[in-house]
Amino acid sequence: MSREPMPDPFADQPDWAPRPPRSIVPTPAASVEDLRGRRLVVGFPGAGWRGDLRADDRIVQGSRTYVPAIPEQEWYRAESEQIEVFAPLVPIDRVWVETLGAPGKAGGHRDVISRLVSLDFPATRVAVPAVDVDALSGRRVVQVVDGVERRDLRAVTEVHTNADGDICVRLATELEWYRWAWSGQAPKTVEVPVHLLWIE
């Protein structure tokens, strides 16, 4: 008995466009061995979720395990300037780690019914092409070049036309983005064609 071939989710994608990056799949922190530096989502099932956090090593106090959850700006500052920062301790059962899933068809404009999620755990985040997003400045961006994903980037501008007539967005590394906030030092940026970019 022969099996039907799996449909190619990229069949309708133009040849010039790179394939979308992998989705972000929240995974319970208890099942992740090395937490330090990983992106976190914390919250309460049924109530809501908070992201833009980084983990430090787990801490055991008595019979409970906690994860220090540091706001990303403070994480980058601590790492860059080698300083101590305050980190609230979150019970490990309320912490998920952002992990990369399998490549999938990029998200885009979808109807509200197809966007419904369960409130029992944080939702998977499917990348959206930057060309489909209105407000880009400050958003987390993935650049894909020759199938290689570059993450931990932030958009610093909106879509614009450069001197060569290409439609681009200027990007900074997250370290540069956050340093801009705590020091006022303008970030080093690079101009990237918009068709190579996705919003996480």
pLDDT score for 179:
96
pLDDT score for 16:
56
Which CATH fold would you assign to the domain 127-200?
SH3 type barrels. (2.30.30)
Tell me what the mean pLDDT of segment 47-74 comes to.
96
Cα(140)–Cα(188) distance, integer angstroms: 16
Tell me what the mean pLDDT of segment 62-69 comes to.
96
Residue 5 has pLDDT above 60, yes or no: no
Cα(50)–Cα(58) distance, integer angstroms: 19
The three-class DSSP label of residue 65 is: strand
pLDDT score for 115:
78
Residue pLDDT, tens place only, 105-131: 655 566 788 778 888 999 999 899 999
Domain limits of the chain?
A: 19-106, 127-200
Residue pLDDT, tens place only, 78-110: 999 999 999 999 999 999 999 999 776 655 566
